[in-house]
Chains A and B, each alone.
Chain A
Amino acid sequence: MSSPLPQGSPGRVRVQRIAEAAVERARLRVVPRAPRVTRAPRVPFVTLVSLVLLAGVVGLLMFNTTMQQNAFAATSLEQRAATLTSREQTLRMDLEVLRDPQRVAERAQRLGMVPAATPAFLRIADGKVLGVPTVSTARERFDILPTAPAKPAVLRTRTRVVEVPAPSVRERRRGEGRAGDRAENRAGNRAENRAENRAGNRAGNRAGNRAGNRADSRSDG
């Protein structure tokens, strides 16, 4: 009520006005229709949501695919690493075979080398020789080959004794000499051959061959 009210009997007037206000409030009125809300256009929103959804799905799919692909790549790389590791191991084994002290020593002996005799030193400071320098000779060489395995009884040659009438002294002397020589030669040759074969056939050669073959095949590929 904005207009100024008439003065006088203010009590009554207030009461009346209070009541008036209450009455006024109690009265039912039609709610005024709200002004029409302008609705945001629907299409962009739907598009956005679908885009987000699509991006999510595609992203997830791609993520999964990448993961799968990575897993495959990891597996194949692991396999490759394993292969390379085992190749390295094999090559290392070959190397070990080649530098096996037994093999090196056998080779050295075949070249005619002998172990050094007494150690001696040359002192640079005063040019003095310490120790007794000695020339190494074949005497220093010692047997480094393993004991040959025992032959099975079947293969052992039996001694055949043939009785021959005693020849004359001269003949006997000549004959003995020749037979002795021959036997010695034969025994010597056989032992040597056997030793050589054994040394040659053993791992050294094999490793060498293997390494060689592999190198060839690689250069071909």
Chain B
Amino acid sequence: MTSRPRSAPRSPRASVHLRLRFGFVVICMVISLFGVRLVQLQGIDPQSYAAMAAREGMVTVELPADRGAITDRNGVELATSVDGRMIVADPTMTAPDAPEIASFLAEELDLDYFATLESLRYENTRFRYIARRVPSTIALDVLAEAQERGYRGLSTRRDPMRDYPARDVAANVVGFLGDDAIALGGLEKTFDGLLSGTDGEATYEVGGGNRIPLGDQTTVEPQDGADLELTIERDLQWFVQRVLRSTIRGAGGDSGAAVVMDSRTGELLAIADDPTFDANRPGAAPERNRVSRAASDVYEPGSVQKVLTTAALLDAGKVTPRTRIEVPGTLPRQDRVIHDHWDHGDIRLTMAGVLARSSNIGTVLAADEFSPDELHAYLRAFGLGQRTDVGIRNETAGLLPDPSLWSQINQDTIAFGQGVSVNAIQMAAAVNTIANGGERVAPSLVRGSATSDEGEQVGTATAERRQVVSPEAAAQTMQMMELVTDPEDGVAPGAAVPGYRVAGKTGTAQRVGEECGCYDGTYTVSFAGFAPADDPRFTVYVVVQNPRNGGGGGSVAGPAFSRIMSHLLRRYAVAPTGTQASTYPIEW
């Protein structure tokens, strides 16, 4: 192409030019259309289109995480997750054979015949629950059998179930799951986040009902929940619960609690509550039976408190076990008169005798050496008025009044355990301080360490220790407590374990009634103690509310204590120490 002809617009070259230009314009228009569409798709609302694309042939399946088990200290399961199934019926298909199917199901699954029959004939629905949380194998067996017999309209679906193999054993502590696997109480709820884990999901392409092997897929693996290991021992817990129940039944009491603690480590080996409930059927029990009374019931400890007062007095050097106290028959204080639990004239007791005989008047006279602040500081150090934070829900802190509000009579009654409120675990831990050489170990219920949903860290790994009274004061208190179970001098010979040195203290406290908010003439009886006294291994605390047989701490709770303690000593093979019992004088 050398020269361009100027004229002749009709030449073929000009027409080519025109066509090129026209084509170019068309291409531009088309491309700009594409551009606009691109902006529309990618710029304005890309998500909805992506979702639309994903819906075509993509399937998302939830991969449920397994809920962790709650085990005792030996790994025996107290609560465990089981693959369950629900059996559902389509009444439009089951109605014709309803009676046969109902009797078959009632037989196989222990269902109520009439309720099942009604469900199978229900009108205007195609979905009725027949049975929920049936162990998967049983459900599938039953369904296969039903199919064999030609019953139509039954199917199963996944329905995770929680099993509590030991039913009421430790149920109040472990708690329970409600319908649809929602944690409703106890440790199940406190540590729900830890136990439940995180569900995963799998998304994959499906063609013609089958997974496409090389298709797009993403899988988020489920994070199974962690197990929670408790310090409780199941068989021991069962024994303690049964002893407690038979004690309460025998005394005609309302309720009660028993706490067993390892003296050296503060681990709670058993926390028994009665009345209790079957964790597999929580709905059958009233709500007040489903909480842990050992932690949530608040009551006045009575004479068990004298152990703390005496240890504090000894530690402060205000008294010795041989300090002589003249105890009058009655002691008028402010507008009230303090009595002892037995009638007596003027008697002469040593400090040890005051504790052994459980004299209120003697304790009050000895505690006069304390200022309110001093006594309050000691009691606070023993853990009164503060939650133990073992991990049980709705634990009460108890009530230890502020010393600035104490009048003389307040201090007097607090010294022997009235006008101050505690929970059973708190009191067991306080008495355990004496068993552990004056060092308070925070009680713990969870082995290792676990973080609750509220972010609180609990467990044996975080248990605090603090010296409350000197080892000497603790040893002296122990020897004084030993006199309580003495067959001649003590008030609770029934709490003794033959062959062993046992230190303990009874408590019989007036109880504040629920209606009037005043002492209503009912009592709380209790016994706290440890054995072997000179090398304590276990601390046991038994409380019975409102016994109607007129018994006190020594006669009601004492024998229960003895039974539990004997069992413990045998179970853990603790031989008697074989040393001489305490020889403190009682009188002078």
Contacting pair A130 B499 (CB below 8 A): yes
* CB contact under 8 A between A101 and B135, given known A93-B82, A130-B578, A131-B498: no
* CB contact under 8 A between A134 and B498, given known A86-B135, A90-B138, A93-B82: yes
Residues of A within 8 A of B8 (CB): none
The reply to whether the CB of A100 lies closer than 8 angstroms to some CB of chain B is yes
Residues of B within 8 A of A75 (CB): 211
Contacting pair A116 B570 (CB below 8 A): yes
Contacting pair A67 B578 (CB below 8 A): no
A68 to B213, CA, bound (A): 6
Q: Which among A71, A83, A102 has the highest number of chain B CB atoms within 10 Å?
A: A102
Contacting pair B566 A101 (CB below 8 A): no
* CB contact under 8 A between A90 and B570, given known A101-B235, A118-B499, A142-B246: no
Q: How far is the CB of B157 from chain A (nearest CB, A)?
A: 14
Not counting A121-B575, A130-B575, a sample of 15 additional A-B residue pairs whose C-beta atoms are within 8 angstroms of each other reads A64-B213, A68-B210, A68-B213, A71-B213, A82-B83, A90-B82, A90-B135, A100-B166, A101-B235, A101-B238, A115-B563, A116-B566, A131-B575, A146-B168, A147-B249
The reply to whether the CB of A190 lies closer than 8 angstroms to some CB of chain B is no
Contacting pair A130 B137 (CB below 8 A): no
Q: How far is the CB of B238 from chain A (nearest CB, A)?
A: 4
A132: contacting residue among B135, B498, B563, B567, CB under 8 A: B498
Q: State which residues 53-74 of A face B: CB under 8 Å.
A: 64, 67-68, 70-71
Contacting pair B567 A115 (CB below 8 A): yes
23 contacts between A and B (CB under 8 A): A64-B214, A67-B213, A70-B213, A86-B137, A89-B82, A93-B135, A93-B165, A101-B235, A101-B238, A102-B166, A105-B238, A116-B566, A116-B570, A119-B497, A119-B566, A119-B569, A119-B574, A123-B575, A131-B498, A132-B499, A134-B498, A142-B242, A143-B246
A64 to B210, CA, bound (A): 14
How many Cβ-Cβ contacts under 8 Å join chain A to chain B?
105
Residues of A within 8 A of B167 (CB): 100, 102
Interface residues on A, range: 35 or more
Residues of B within 8 A of A147 (CB): 245, 249, 275
The reply to whether the CB of A85 lies closer than 8 angstroms to some CB of chain B is yes
A123 to B578, CA, bound (A): 12
* CB contact under 8 A between A89 and B238, given known A68-B213, A118-B497, A131-B575: no
CB-CB contacts of A3-27 with B at 8 A, as 1s and 0s? 0000000000000000000000000
Q: Whose C-beta in chain A lies nearest to the C-beta of B572?
A: A119
Q: How far is the CB of A148 from chain B (nearest CB, A)?
A: 11
The reply to whether the CB of B534 lies closer than 8 angstroms to some CB of chain A is no
The reply to whether the CB of B243 lies closer than 8 angstroms to some CB of chain A is yes
Q: How far is the CB of A177 from chain B (nearest CB, A)?
A: 29
Q: How far is the CB of A129 from chain B (nearest CB, A)?
A: 9
Q: Whose C-beta in chain A lies nearest to the C-beta of B137?
A: A90
The reply to whether the CB of A196 lies closer than 8 angstroms to some CB of chain B is no
Q: Whose C-beta in chain A lies nearest to the C-beta of B85?
A: A86
Residues of B within 8 A of A101 (CB): 166, 169, 234-235, 238-239
Contacting pair A89 B136 (CB below 8 A): yes
The reply to whether the CB of B163 lies closer than 8 angstroms to some CB of chain A is yes
The reply to whether the CB of B551 lies closer than 8 angstroms to some CB of chain A is no
The reply to whether the CB of A117 lies closer than 8 angstroms to some CB of chain B is yes
Main secondary structure of the interface of B (DSSP, over half): mixed
Contacting pair B499 A90 (CB below 8 A): no
Residues of B within 8 A of A144 (CB): 242, 246
The reply to whether the CB of B439 lies closer than 8 angstroms to some CB of chain A is no
Contacting pair A89 B83 (CB below 8 A): yes
Q: Which among B82, B235, B239, B498 has the highest number of chain A CB atoms within 10 Å?
A: B498
Binding site for B on A (CB under 8 A): 64, 67-68, 70-71, 75, 82-83, 85-87, 89-90, 93, 96-97, 100-102, 105, 115-121, 123, 130-132, 134, 142-144, 146-147, 206, 210
CB-CB contacts of B161-177 with A at 8 A, as 1s and 0s? 00101111100000000
The reply to whether the CB of B500 lies closer than 8 angstroms to some CB of chain A is yes
A119 to B249, CA, bound (A): 26
A130: contacting residue among B243, B245, B576, CB under 8 A: B576
A100 to B211, CA, bound (A): 45
The reply to whether the CB of B18 lies closer than 8 angstroms to some CB of chain A is no
* CB contact under 8 A between A131 and B500, given known A89-B83, A101-B234: yes
* CB contact under 8 A between A97 and B567, given known A67-B213, A87-B137: no
A82 to B160, CA, bound (A): 13
A116 to B249, CA, bound (A): 22
A172 to B129, CA, bound (A): 62
The reply to whether the CB of B395 lies closer than 8 angstroms to some CB of chain A is no
Residues of B within 8 A of A102 (CB): 166-167, 169, 238
The reply to whether the CB of B77 lies closer than 8 angstroms to some CB of chain A is yes
A101 to B234, CA, bound (A): 8
CB-CB contacts of B195-221 with A at 8 A, as 1s and 0s? 000000000000000110110000000
A167 to B498, CA, bound (A): 55
Contacting pair B498 A90 (CB below 8 A): no
Contacting pair A131 B576 (CB below 8 A): yes
Q: Whose C-beta in chain B lies nearest to the C-beta of A217?
A: B141
The reply to whether the CB of B1 lies closer than 8 angstroms to some CB of chain A is no
Residues of B within 8 A of A96 (CB): 77, 163, 165-166
Residues of A within 8 A of B110 (CB): 206
Q: State which residues 247-270 of B face A: CB under 8 Å.
A: 249
A147 to B166, CA, bound (A): 17
A34 to B211, CA, bound (A): 62
Q: How far is the CB of B475 from chain A (nearest CB, A)?
A: 23
A119 to B497, CA, bound (A): 9
Residues of B within 8 A of A71 (CB): 210-211, 213
CB-CB contacts of B41-79 with A at 8 A, as 1s and 0s? 000000000000000000000000000000000000100
The reply to whether the CB of B573 lies closer than 8 angstroms to some CB of chain A is yes
Q: State which residues 536-582 of B face A: CB under 8 Å.
A: 563, 566-567, 569-570, 573-576, 578
